[in-house]
Structure 1
Amino acid sequence: MAAYVGLTKPRVIELLLLTTVPVMFAAEGGVPALGLVVATVVGGALSAGSASALNCVWDRDIDEQMRRTRRRALPRHIVSPVAATIFGVVLGVLATVILLVWVNALSAGLALAAEAFYLVVYTIWLKRRTTQNIVWGGLAGCFPALIGWTAVTGELAWPPVVLFAVVFFWTPPHTWALALRYRDDYAGVDVPMLPVVAPPAVVGRQIVLYTWATVATSFLLWPVAGTGLVYIVAATLLGAVFIAEAHRLWAKSRQTENPALMDPMRLFHVSNLYLALLFVAVAVDPLLG
């Protein structure tokens, strides 16, 4: 059972749900119906778990060679590729049914599109072919903001599009920091992540640019959604910390090419904290406003 749960990448699911539920509060302008939140969370979790399981099936050859992934169920041959495929497909079907029946067709369609995009566009097409793999492949992780909003309102609007863009710009610095730490792993399996094919200083500069874009985009929610003081203060303080850490990593990358001395995981963890607290502010702002 633990092996099958591991196939769903629970930490990724946690992050995706963290960008879903707060948007539901923003869409409602308060506390959304509990039943709707539960259905959206369960459907979203199953959809993300399905995409992750099928990703594990496709990437099992390189996962077996990388330190970060070699302990997963497929490289250890605890679960067979056929069983994992069936598991992933079943989760995807259940997710679609739950969202279709207890949420709405638009949310179900968006979840299905995100799953297909992650598996086909990112995993199969981009990941092993281009340094821009995570930039465009990361679009799949932006869909929860849209799903959370449409679950409540039944339609798209500009506020979730802004939050979609925030996650889009946030994904490269978050992922490239991790890729700097495991650069040799990616190089060993010929996955052309940017830190594999570009000098650390170039990666550091790109991280800074995308971080500034993330923070700048986060402020667009103020005029678009009419957010209050809670969100504005949170976006300012969190953005300042995120930008400072990105510049710290860039400065380190110009001094050394040793990932251990750069400590890229520090930015990785800061980026997680940034996104989590920013979306918490999205949820809290209408409650206090």
Structure 2
Amino acid sequence: MSVQSEIGQFDLTAEPSVGDFVQLMKPRVMALVVFTALAAMLAAPGSINPIIGVIAMVSIAIGAGASGALNMWYDADIDARMARTAARPLPRGKVSGDEALSFGTVLSLGSVVTLGVIVNWVAGALLALTIAYYLFVYTMWLKRKTPQNIVIGGAAGAFPPMIGWAAVTGDVSINSILLFLIIFMWTPPHFWALSLYRCRDYERVGVPMLPVVAGLPETRRQILIYSVLLVPLAIAPYFTGLGGIAYLVSSVVLGAVFLALAVNVYFTTEGREADTAARRLFWFSILYLYVLFAVLLVEATVHRILA
């Protein structure tokens, strides 16, 4: 893979800006990672020194950003040919491949060591696993080889709550695994909804996303299947004692909307209406996950205040 061959038409002599390096870290993805980790940290039993907690969150954020930078380094060739990613720093020639690789590597090592030494090594090991899984398992191995890339590779995005939980407790529990599973099951319908209306992008660069390999009808069917599995799983924290009444109500209402949108995607198969249905599910899925974890965070905060 030659990054330079894809971006050689750009002038790489210009110094990259701070904003270019921030963009390398995928700040929108990083925000979701930090938020789910924070919610798990507050919902975990026990307590953590506020300063140590801040260090843990910063380390998790930097580790997530490092994963994004390494992903962009490796995928620069296909990013340059996809409309959704063509404006990233490497395709635009704002950052070189070597700079992105060095940046991601330094951030990876620094975040893992900081989290391990200052917080605990269970959390540090989980962060290391997350970064390695995202780079080697998802980006380098699965993404370009199998339509199950999102399903298996989705584990990388599901680890942050386990890291936040472990930062407080120093271990992995049923509830932290449950939070992992919620994000793991959420990932396929979320990304396959995106791939439905970005199908040509993936086809152009040879990434075997499900719509490209199995077709749009099968993708819609898989979205519905995973949505049906996700909704009861997302309600389960109430029954394990992790979530309260507010969480139960929120998860039921949001789950009903999620399923309605997934059903709409399944039955809407023609023209712009099909793209609109997929877009609605994609954007709502982001809101869905944020609200679920926001309610957990609020409930945990109120509980700590009243305790």
Question: Which residue number in structure 2 is paired with residue 94 of structure 1?
Answer: 110
1:281 aligns with 2:295: yes
TM-score by length of 2: 0.89
Distance 1:108 1:56 in 2: 23
For the 8 Å contact 1:21–1:37, the answer to whether it is kept is no
2:41 aligned residue (24, 47, 54) = 24
- State whether structure 2 residue 134 is matched by structure 1 residue 112: no
Q: Check if 1:38 corresponds to 2:58.
A: no
Q: Which residue pairs with 2:6 in the alignment?
A: none
| Per-residue deviation, residues 185-210 of structure 1 (Å, max 9, x unmatched) | 00001100001122322211111111
**Could you tell me whether the CA contact under 8 Å between 2:238 and 2:245 is conserved in 1?**
no
CA distance in 2, matches of 1:244, 1:260: 14
Question: Relative to structure 2, which stretch is displaced further, 159-168 or 256-265?
Answer: 256-265
Tell me the equivalent position of 1:239.
Answer: 255
Pairwise mapping of residues 65-104 of structure 1 onto structure 2 (< 5 A)? 65-104=81-120
What does 1:167-186 correspond to in 2, within 5 Å? 167-186=183-202
CA distance in structure 1 between the partners assigned to 2:258 and 2:274 by the alignment: 20
In the other structure, the counterpart of 1:217 is 233
Q: Deviations over 1:109-135 (max 9, x none)?
A: 000001000000000100000000000
Aligned-partner Cα distance in 1 for 2:298–2:90: 40
AA aligned opposite 1:185? D
Aligned partner (choices 182, 190, 193) of residue 209 of structure 2: 193
Distance in 2, Cα, partners of 1:44 & 1:168: 18
Are 1:270 and 2:287 counterparts? Answer: no
2:203 alignment partner AA? A
Q: Find the aligned partners of 1:119 and 1:21 in 2 and give their Cα distance.
A: 23
Structure 2 CA distance, aligned partners of 1:114 and 1:103? 17
Report the CA distance shift for 1:226/1:188 in structure 2 as closer, same or farther (over 3 A). closer
CA RMSD of the aligned region, Å? 1.6
**Structure 2, unpaired ranges of 5+:** 1-17
> Partner of 2:21 in structure 1?
4
Task: Identify the residue that residue 228 of structure 1 maps to in structure 2.
Answer: 244
* 1:92 positional shift: 0.6
Post-superposition CA distance 1:54-92 (Å, at most 9, x none): 111111110010001111111111111111111001111
Contact 1:252 1:262 in 2 (8 A): no
The letter for the 1-side match of 2:112 is T
Among the aligned pairs, what percent are the same residue? 42
Separation (CA, whole Å) in 2 of partners of 1:109 and 1:221? 25
Per-residue CA deviation, residues 125-167 of structure 1 (Å, 9 max, x unaligned), is 0000000000000100110111011111111110010111000
Structure 2 Cα separation of the partners of residues 260 and 235 of structure 1: 26
What residue is the counterpart of 2:32 in the other structure?
15
> Which stretch has the larger CA shift, 109-118 or 209-218?
209-218
Does residue 122 of the first structure (1) align with residue 150 of the second (2)?
no
- Determine helix, strand or coil for the equivalent of 1:19: helix
| Mapped partners of 1:74, 1:105: distance in 2 | 33
CA separation in 2, counterparts of 1:78 and 1:84? 10
Q: Given that residues 60 and 75 in structure 1 are in contact (C-alpha distance below 8 angstroms), is that contact kept between their aligned partners in structure 2?
A: yes
| 1:230 and 1:284 in contact (8 A); partners too | no
The Cα of 1:180 is off from its aligned counterpart by 1.2
Q: Is the 8 A contact 1:229 1:285 kept in 2?
A: no
Task: Classify 1:260/1:208 alpha carbon distance in 2 versus 1 (closer, same or farther; 3 Å).
Answer: closer
Q: Is the 8 A contact 1:228 1:286 kept in 2?
A: no
Q: Which residue, 228, 244, 248 being the options, matches 2:264?
A: 248
Alpha-carbon separation, structure 2, partners of 1:87 and 1:93: 10
